[in-house]
Amino acid sequence: MSKEIYKKDYLASQKEYTSQTTCSVKGCKNPVDFEVILYDEYEDGKVFYEQDSTCPFLCRFHQGENERLAKREEVVYYPYTNQGDAKGYTKYIPIREAYPQCFADG
């Protein structure tokens, strides 16, 4: 499956961002700065690219903490993202880049 085809599947299942969306960390009311993506490239050239259903959005503070406290082993263990222990790693897409249509300057 090509990256483009997979992305179509991803777009059908992702949680949408709105101007009211806050950071996905429990109890955090900060505005969203990043969409969280689970990402992996396989030896056969296929790419796994999917919004993290366990933590789809992060503020800047929790994104930094997520990386700082990550434990890198066979699977990267993050405190907030990838709670399903998928292989690969977490990517952070700036929210203005992921959802330009939601911003006046986008």
**pLDDT tens digit string along 14-54?**
788 998 999 999 999 999 999 999 999 888 988 889 999 99
The structure tokens listed for 91 are 């990517």
**Does residue 61 belong to any structural domain of this protein?**
yes
pLDDT at position 105, please? 66
More confident residue, 52 or 106: 52
**Does residue 62 belong to any structural domain of this protein?**
yes
Give alpha helix (H) positions in the chain. 3-13, 60-68, 95-98
d(CA 6, CA 104): 29
**Does residue 106 belong to any structural domain of this protein?**
no
Instruction: Give residue 59's domain range.
Output: 3-100
pLDDT at position 16, please? 86
For residue range 66-91, list pLDDT tens digits in order.
999 999 988 899 999 999 988 889 99
Residue 3 has pLDDT above 60, yes or no: no
**Does residue 81 belong to any structural domain of this protein?**
yes
d(CA 16, CA 35): 10
**Does residue 105 belong to any structural domain of this protein?**
no
**Does residue 31 belong to any structural domain of this protein?**
yes
pLDDT at position 9, please? 53
pLDDT averaged over every residue in the chain: 87
Total number of domains in the chain: 1
**Does residue 22 belong to any structural domain of this protein?**
yes
**Does residue 83 belong to any structural domain of this protein?**
yes
Residue 1 has pLDDT above 50, yes or no: no
